[in-house]
């Protein structure tokens, strides 16, 4: 599928944090095989990630580690603009690191926070501290996971929700692309509405849409809007 050209990212942002599954990798936030393995998000919420790690096949992990559309180009553009970036997730560190196998080595990791879990803001603050960021102004969180977005809001960050590739979309990329247009539009609309109701400052489908979104957030910032 042709992807839109990536525009230059506004360089005035202090830092950009990304969710891992359902954002940078694992379109739809699922570790599913065609046989229907449970979603990573459901595994996480059910408290059984260790079992998932034990039973996941190398092929399933490789599939989940596939970068989402626009992920690598977005990271490359942000690095060229010298905008610090990090990912965070609540998955066990061993599993999370397997999912990052195709991401750039320079991307800072901020695995599961040892303090309060989402939607408490601790994980976001920990990630910013890891990046040695000393202020919240201009910091952005991008994720398709509602609980992480709520954590970002609680931390005082700008938040960008992902409607298609996040957990609310709930379909692997190949499955998403083969859905009937009406069903895809309904899922996208439902997810978009849910994320805006949560309080996200902007909602896009996937990371191919992020550069224009950041440009819009910068305009809002220039007009004095605060997260």
pLDDT tens-place string over residues 83-97: 999 999 988 888 888
Q: What DSSP assignment string belongs to 27-39?
A: TTS----TT-PPP
Task: Please report the domains of the chain, with CATH numbers, ordered by start residue.
Answer: 15-222 (3.40.50.1000)
Inform me whether the pLDDT recorded for 5 exceeds 50: no
Q: Provide the mean pLDDT of the chain.
A: 86
> Tens digit of pLDDT for each residue in 108-144?
998 776 779 999 999 999 999 999 999 999 999 999 9
pLDDT at 45: 47
CA R_g for the chain: 16
pTM of the model: 0.86
Say if residue 105 is exposed, middle or buried (CB neighbours under 10 Å; 0-12, 13-18, 19+).
exposed
Where residue 52 falls among pLDDT bands split at 50, 70, 90?
low
- Report whether pLDDT(191) > 70: yes
């Amino acid at each position: 599928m042709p992807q839109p050209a990536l525009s230059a990212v506004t360089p005035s942002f202090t830092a950009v944090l990304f969710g891992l599954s359902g954002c940078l990798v694992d379109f739809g936030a699922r570790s599913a095989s065609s046989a229907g393995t449970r979603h990573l998000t459901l595994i996480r919420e059910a408290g059984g990630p260790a079992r998932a790690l034990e039973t996941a096949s190398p092929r399933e992990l490789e599939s989940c580690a596939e970068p989402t559309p626009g992920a690598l180009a977005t990271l490359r553009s942000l690095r060229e603009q010298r905008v610090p970036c990090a990912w965070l997730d609540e998955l066990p560190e061993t599993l999370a690191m397997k999912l990052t196998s195709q991401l750039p080595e320079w991307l800072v990791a901020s695995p599961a926070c040892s303090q309060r879990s989402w939607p408490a803001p601790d994980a976001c603050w920990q990630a910013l501290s890891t990046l040695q960021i000393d202020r919240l102004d201009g910091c952005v969180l991008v994720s398709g996971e509602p609980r992480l977005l709520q954590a970002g809001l609680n931390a005082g960050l700008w938040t960008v929700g992902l409607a298609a590739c996040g957990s609310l979309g709930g379909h692997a990329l190949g499955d998403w692309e083969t859905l009937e247009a009406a069903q895809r539009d309904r899922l996208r609309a439902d997810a978009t509405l849910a994320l805006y109701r949560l309080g996200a400052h902007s909602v896009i489908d996937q990371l191919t849409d992020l550069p224009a979104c950041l440009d819009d957030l910068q305009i809002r910032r220039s007009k004095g809007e605060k997260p």
